[in-house]
Amino acid sequence: MTQTKISKAFQTTISAEAIRRLGLRPGRRVNQIVEGNRLILELVEDVDALAGSLGKGKRKHSIDEMKAAARKGIAIAGAAGLEENR
């Protein structure tokens, strides 16, 4: 765990280790999720990376279904990446 300080402009720095492990780059977007007293930054994947994640078919999906499927795919990909780094 790495600690960081929040500036007067409410900005903070992401550790070099986190940048390397997550493959972050300038301009990447993140979702900010507050759970209790925790702030979670979740990478937003490019639309092209999510192509096909909902499978084939003609059924229309709601936005909530698409977001849930995207989160599941990202979690699976993230878990696989963590296993590779061990």
Q: What is the CATH number of the domain that holds 27?
A: 2.10.260
Q: What is the Cα–Cα distance from 47 to 50, expressed in whole angstroms?
A: 5
The reported pLDDT for the residue numbered 62 is 86
d(CA 66, CA 49): 13
The answer to whether residues 35 and 4 belong to one domain is yes
Task: Judge if 3 and 28 occupy the same domain.
Answer: yes
- pLDDT tens for the chain, 86 residues long, are 889 999 999 999 999 999 999 888 888 888 899 999 999 998 887 666 566 666 666 677 888 998 999 889 888 887 776 555 55
Residues 37 and 68 in one domain: no
State the pTM of this model.
Answer: 0.48
Residues 40 and 51 in one domain: no
3-state secondary structure of 79: helix
